[in-house]
Amino acid sequence: MGRKRCVGADCSKMAAGCCGVKKQKLSGSPGSGGPGGVGAGSGVAGTGHCGSELGIGSSATVAATANVSRANGLGGPGGNVSGSSSSSGSSGTNALSPAPAGYTSSGLSPNLSSGPGSGSGGRKMVVSAEMCCFCFDVLYCHLYGYQPPRTPRFTNDPYPLFVTWKIGRDKRLRGCIGTFSAMNLHSGLREYTLTSALKDSRFPPMTRDELPRLFCSVSLLTNFEDVGDYLDWEVGVHGIRIEFFNEKGSKRTATYLPEVAKEQGWDHIQTIDSLLRKGGYKAPITNDFRKTIKLTRYRSEKMTMGYAEYIAHRQHHHYQNGIGHPLPPYNHYS
């Protein structure tokens, strides 16, 4: 009830703030300043935080960047949301690509996870392990000064997307940025791999030494819907993007990826209030104010791969993406 279907991710409501203006870029993890949450942004294109250390959310004024705006969808230092390697309520609208050799959405090894809800309904997921491998390829080649990997084999259909990096046994957030504007996956993953690894303002740029401890997650966002009731979404299934006016009358936006609320143990009200704080709203939060929020809900498919899985895969498919240089030996955690 009261739902307005957005066409793809290009609904005009998505063109402002942390999660989208023109080609908006967002990050998928909570950020600093308050309970972990997803980033917030101003009503203009730019970058914002959408996550926190445990997972998703952080606030930041969105600053326009060229023709694309970026935002953080997961957590960062100072936040308390932790991300996971699971995907929530996946659904896709474009042609599906075949699963890469040796990888399917089932029978995954411990560090390779598609998460509950992915590929539900008996259909194949669009997101794949090969996408995570490609992100590792791009980052590895950049850090070691090699030529970028060649065009990958997975689908190049356009999707809104997030690339998230976590590090260490406890999988602390290391970078997370994405876009609510649909981008062709080959160029989009290439771009956001490096943006999330090197340009997330919450963290210093990644170094070679960190590679063996990294985990990469690719999230593809689908099924965007404007809803008339700010409670009309399901915890653990939907990601949410809110748009509101702060005490000074400035339009702000903030988003949480689908896994955040569930991981934090939040209900609807706690999630909304966390997002408002991440978006920079400092006044007391009343139920009347919550009713003024414009909310868009969406779903995602998510795949996570650890460095060990990446190395094992590349040892068997070394030249698949045009990598003709030696891969570094895998180093176990100390």
Q: Give the 3-state secondary structure of the chain.
A: CCCEECCCCCCHHHCCHHHCCEEEEECCECCCCCCCCCCEEECCCCCCCEEECCCCECECCCCCECCEEEECCEEECCCCCCCCCCCCCCCCCCCCCCCCCCCCCCCCCCCCECCCCCCHHHCCCCCCHHHHHHHHHHHHHHHHCCCCCCCCCCCCCEEEEEEEEEECCCCEEEEEEEEEEEEEHHHHHHHHHHHHHHCCCCCCCCCHHHHHHEEEEEEEEEEEEEECCCCCCCCCCCEEEEEEECCCCCEEEEEECCHHHHHHCCCHHHHHHHHHHHCCCCCCCCHHHHCCCEEEEEEEEEEEEEHHHHHHHHHHCCCCCCCCCCCCCCCCCC
This model's pTM is above 0.75: no
Both tokens of residue 271?
A: 């999630």
* More confident call, 33 vs 261: 261
The CA distances from residue 41 to 23, 64, 149, 166, 320, in Å, are: 14, 10, 33, 23, 39
* More confident call, 315 vs 129: 129
User: Among 30-34, 63-67, 217-221, 313-317, which stretch is predicted with the lowest mean pLDDT?
Assistant: 63-67
pLDDT at residue 25, as a whole number:
46
pLDDT at residue 89, as a whole number:
34
CB 1 within 8 A of CB 50: no
pLDDT tens digits along 194-226: 999 999 999 999 999 999 999 999 999 999 999
Examine the pLDDT at 308 and tell me if it is beyond 80: yes
104-109 contacts at long range (C-beta below 8 A, 24 or more positions apart):
109/309
Examine the pLDDT at 310 and tell me if it is beyond 80: yes
CB 131 within 8 A of CB 184: no
Examine the pLDDT at 159 and tell me if it is beyond 50: yes
* More confident call, 109 vs 201: 201
pLDDT, average across residues 242-252: 95
- Band (269; pLDDT cuts 50, 70, 90): very high
pLDDT at residue 127, as a whole number:
96
Q: Which domains does the chain have, with CATH numbers?
A: 125-222+300-320 (3.30.700.20), 231-292 (no CATH)
pLDDT tens digits along 46-93: 333 343 332 333 333 222 223 334 555 543 333 323 333 333 333 332
Examine the pLDDT at 156 and tell me if it is beyond 50: yes
- Band (125; pLDDT cuts 50, 70, 90): confident
